[in-house]
Structure formats: structure tokens, C-alpha cells
Chains A and B, each alone.
Chain A
Amino acid sequence: MYEEMVTARYYEERLQEEYLEGKQPAFDISAGPIPGELHLAAGHEASGAGVCAHLRDSDTVTAPHRPHHVAISKGVDLKRMTAEIFGRETGLSKGKGGHMHLYDPDVNFACSGIIAQGCPPAVGAAMAAKKRNTDDVAVAFLGEGAISQGGFLESLNLAGVHDLPVVFVIEDNDWAISMPKARVTDVEDGSRRADGFDVRGERVDSDDAVAVYEAAETAIGRARDGNGPTLLEVQLHRRMGHFMGDPEAYRADADVDAAHARDSIERLADRLREHGVEDDDLEAIRERAHDRVDEAIEWAKDQPQPDPGETYDDVFTDELEGWPERADRKLAAADGGED
């Protein structure tokens, strides 16, 4: 768990460096080696590691637009994920998805750029497991900003009424972009929303990876044993802005400082030391994690850009007859051919 958390944190630190290259001094979102928006999850590591520690490859995870820590903990191929974030041919989605749309079917991981969008598919995965009599489970991660979405509430109800093996994990970092939680909901303990659906709810009111691990063990165990869904809310802290380049003018410095002060990784390191783990061992874990990340990033940066012609592939599983001419003129021109 510690290794995954350290991997996720360092991975994002490295992505941040890469992302900012060429985008400064005047921040330009369209410049630099990593295209598009980038939502970093520094401060969220405890939930990804604590929950996914109980999952196997055949269990399904859906994550929102801030997915890296969950993906790493679920065992998503780090090199191909990185290549995807750099928009390369060998990325998980051949450069078509990007950092908000990572899919790794080998470990049943998917994420989405639209909040709460992963909840219904997680319910569907749980349905499939139940219909097929497997003991696989599904976990949907979402932010606390997404708890007002119909898609989440409908999923909770559906999971409850069918006793489905699904766990909803609300990552409560107190901020939905610029909206503080108190202005989004009067329900401070989001796990209480489960009561209205007669579903089990539990809140881990800290950034404590061990407490998350224990709560998730119970929730996932219940689901696997056929005892129905759980809504698990985990308090975390967003160390960064909503996305890279967010000036965070809406957020007091004290809040940012508090987020940095409550570091779940440091906290877990302290726990490990209390249990006799030596600093050298922790350092060795860190080094191993850093090497793995550096290797993935270097590999990804060496990968080729996708060919423009790939734009038209993968819309359907088969080519459709009668569909409009593809941009043949454009491609012919790119190849140096005639119009």
C-alpha cells in the first residue's frame, strides 16, 4: 500500500514537471509535451491504495476525471497509461483517450471525464457478476462534488434494491473545483445518504490509509459474500488545484497549507515505523517506486505519435458501409498526393 501511494505521488510530481514544460511563463494549456487538461490527485492516495488492496484483476473499478492514484493501485499498466497521457500511439487508448479516459481491460479499469458517470457502469459490472455467479465486485470512485448527481443517486438505489456487489467510494476532498462542500450539501457525512436507500454507509473521517483499508475490507468482503452494496466516504485533501493551471483564487492559503499538513503518505510511514519498519526499508520502497515511474515516463516519451489516419478508426468495431467519405483529401495531401 505504501509503495502504491509513493508511486502515485511521485508519478504525479513527475507529470507536473513534464506538463509545465513549455506551458510557462504565461500558462498556455495548449502547449507542452502533455496535451489537454491534467487533474492531479496528490493527497488522494489513501483511498486508491486502501480500497484497491482488496481487489483482484477481475474486479471492476470506475474512476472519475482524477484517476491516476486509483489506476496505479488497481494495477493499470503504468507504461501504457503514461504513453496515453502523453498522447502516444502505444498508449492504452492509442492516444485517443487521454488522461481522463484511461481504459485497461486487463485489470477492468475505466475512468471518465464526467462526474458520477462511472457509477451506473459499476452497477452494471456488479449485475454481470451476480448474473454469472462469480464473486467479483465493482467499485465506483467519485468525488464529493458528484454526490448531487442523479447518476450517483440512481445507482445507489439500483444497487440497493438488487443487493448488488458494488462499493461506492466518495473521495471527499472538500472542493468541487471552486465550490466548498458546505455550499454543495447540508449533509456533512455523505455516507448518511446511504440510509435513504437502506444501503450500508460508512465514513472514514481522516486521511488514514489503514482506516480506509479496514473499512474497505469490510465493504468489499460484504459485496463479495453476496451481502449487498456499501457507500464508503473517505475524507481526503486536495493538495493541488482542480486542474494544472488552476489559480485557486477561491481558496485560502490556510486551506492549502492544511491539505499539505495532513499527508496520508507521511502518516502511513509513521505507522510503519511504529511497527518496526526501518527508514532504510522505506527509502528502498521509495527508490523502487521512483525508478518504476521514471522508467515509465522515459519509455512513454520515446513512443511515437499516432498517425493522423488513426483518427477515423475505432468508431465502430467494423467499417460501416455508406458512411461519408473520410477526409481522404486531407490524408492524401498529408501524404504528398493529389487532391
Chain B
Amino acid sequence: MAQTQASDPDAASRELTMSRAMVEAIAHEMNESEDVFVMGEDIADYGGIFDSTQGLLEDFGHDRIMDVPISETGFIGAGVGAAMQGMRPICELMFVDFFGVAMDQIYNNMAKTAYMSGGSVSVPMVLMTAVGGTYNDAAQHSQTLYGTFAHLPGMKVVVPSTAYDAKGLMHAAIRDDDPVVFMFHKRLMGLAWMPAPEGPKTGVPEEPYEIEFGEADVKREGDDVTVVTLGLHVHRALEAAESLAEDGIETEVIDLRTLVPLDTETVLESVRKTGRLVVVDEDYHSYGVSGELIARATEGALDDLEAVDRVTAPDTPIPYARPLEEEFQPSTDDIAAAIESIQE
């Protein structure tokens, strides 16, 4: 097995976009093992609509970078079958919103096989999928659905926010013996046609490294309030934290990085320190990540909690027009307002 010790992103000699970092990890694992291959729509000649497989075709050819018909049930289910035979397929569901046509294979088959077989059969596959809005693609192409996938038992769920994390998490995902859902936010990928914020492009070591699942990352330290978030909203929370620091409010920003397993302990430690918790989630308000985090905080640190709030998408489908989508999306200002509102 290749090196697993993560070196420091700040010490790396080059910076990569998140998509390049993911591709580097996939290419490395494909070189290490013939069992690793990629299946998906427009992932070969196109390189993935969101550049998630850009350049892999040239190195590995169509036999291992496989374009497939638009038949998610078929090819994701085939991924499950190949994984049950011990291969390590990476299947791309182009937009997470398309999960509906294939959910039987995902949650009744991919997720449950290990359990239903009494642990005798594992499904070491990665289901890679694009999430998120902020470019007005409306209700069927903009969801995050973190909570949906984390809710259903049997799948590990990964949501990177930086190139450094994306590479380490991708190495770990491919090497994992369980099914992993790798949810990347389009706005973080560094696409030519969809400008990313400054944050996700980071130093990325050239050598392979793993980021262990279930280890949240404290992206900013602070004593006054804890903000727990993931994906795109790590960067919005950091921006809000910087602006509030000018007013003397020190915000700790925790990037969950994986939802299953969930690093409850890092959250509780922070809440015990600050006594104030804001959860930020681009997914829907109800029955989701924000409710889960607040429940865990109350279960584990009730005595320390002085105030709680959450900033989420509302319980509405995602509207198309700009003023409506802006209203729908948790913004930096919304996060700052929530932090301020629980200071009293």
C-alpha cells in the first residue's frame, strides 16, 4: 500500500484545483491496481461534465474509463456487481439529482449488500456525484442531498471542501472496502466556466496520502462560537468568520469532511469551548444534516450549550430565477447574521 501519511498542504510545492486533485488520486489508484476503473456518462472523451475524470482517458483508454449509456440503474448496478467480485469501480452519477432513477441499486443494493450477506460480501465501490447550486440550474440540477445519502445506512458519505482534502479523501474512498458516496460541489471544482471561490484551490502534495474518514477539520479556530458545515459553505463560513473577527467575534469553523462516519467528538469539544453552535447546510432544512448535528450536540454537550441556530436551505424545491435562488441559498451574510444573533 502506498504512503498514507498526509503531509501539510501549506508545504506542497504546487496548488491544484479540486478536480485536478481528485483526478490525480484516481489515476494513482488506477496505476496501483487493475481492479480500479471508472464508469459514467461523458466521463471519457468529455472528461466528465465537471472535470472529475479530465485526462484519464489518455492514460487508461476506453476499457478502464468507460462511457456508458444514460442508464444509471444499469451501470451503477453493474458497479455493485463488479465490486462484489472484488473490483473497485468508481461510478459517476452526473448530477446527484438524477439519483431517483437508480436509487434502488444505490440504497437497496450497494448500501445493504454487506449487511444482508452477514458481512460475507462487501461492495468496495465509489459513487462519485456532483452536488450544489449557485448557477441557476433550477430544481432538478442543483440539489445537495447530503442528508438523503447519509440517512440511509450502509454507505460512507464524503464531502470535500478543498483540493487537499479531495485528494486525500479520494485515495481513502477508493481503498475503502465499503461503498463510498463522494459528493463534490460543482462550485469548488475549478471549472473554466464556473468560477470557484478562492478557498478550494490549495497546496496538494504530489505523493499519495489518505485523509481518514470521520476526522473533521477545524478550518479556523475561535472561542466565541462554533460553526459546523461542509462543502461550499465551509468557504462562506470562513468569510463570515473573517468579517466578524473585525467586530471581535472569534468563530471556530469546523469542516465535517465526512458525514458517515461523523466526527461528533470534534464538534462536541468545540461546543464545550464556545457554548454556541451554528450549523450551516446547503441541503434542505428539515430531517437533515443540521437537525442531526444539533441533536448530537444536545445529546453530548447539553450543559455547555447556551445558544443554537442553523442556516440551511428552506424546505422548497430550488427555484430558477436569480433573486429566488439567492434567497434559497445560505449566504455569507446569513451565516454572519446567525452567528451574531446567538451572541447575546
Contact = CB atoms under 8 A, between A and B. Distances in A.
- Interface size for chain B: under 10, 10 to 19, 20 to 34, or 35 or more residues? 35 or more
A28 B322 contact: no
B15 interface: no
B323 A30 contact: no
A125 interface: no
Contacts of A319: none
Given A37-B137, A150-B71, A183-B67, A330 B327 contact: yes
Nearest to B327: A308
Given A114-B140, A311-B316, A339-B337, A150 B101 contact: yes
Contacts of B82: none
A35 B322 contact: yes
A305 B327 contact: no
B42 interface: yes
Contacts of A250: 45-46
B324 A114 contact: no
Interface residues of A, number: 58
Contacts of B70: 115, 145-146, 148-149, 176, 179, 184
A245 B326 CA distance: 23
Interface in A88-105: 88, 91, 93, 95-98, 100-101
Contacts of A100: 138, 140-141
Nearest to A183: B67
A113 interface: yes
A37 B140 contact: no
Contacts of A93: 320
Interface string B68-103: 011101100000000000000000000001101100
Interface in B144-200: 192-195
B273 interface: no
Given A27-B192, A178-B42, A88 B69 contact: no
B341 interface: yes
Nearest to B142: A36
Contact of A88 (B192, B316, B321, B341): B321
B194 A35 contact: no
B311 to A, nearest CB: 9
Nearest to B46: A178
A29 B193 contact: yes
B55 interface: no
Contact of B98 (A114, A178, A315, A339): A114
A306 B321 contact: yes
Nearest to A309: B327
Nearest to A179: B67
B147 to A, nearest CB: 14
A221 interface: no
B192 A26 contact: yes
B314 interface: yes
B69 A114 contact: no
Contact of A315 (B46, B315, B340): B315
A185 B67 CA distance: 12
A150 B69 contact: no
Nearest to B338: A329
Given A96-B319, A96-B321, 16 more contacts: A35-B135, A35-B320, A36-B320, A87-B324, A95-B321, A96-B139, A101-B138, A114-B140, A148-B74, A177-B49, A178-B45, A179-B69, A184-B70, A245-B193, A311-B328, A333-B333
Interface of B: 41-42, 44-46, 49, 67, 69-71, 73-74, 97-98, 100-101, 134-141, 192-195, 285-286, 314-317, 319-328, 333-334, 337, 340-341
The 6 closest A-B pairs by CB, nearest first: A35-B136, A87-B321, A95-B321, A98-B320, A148-B69, A308-B327
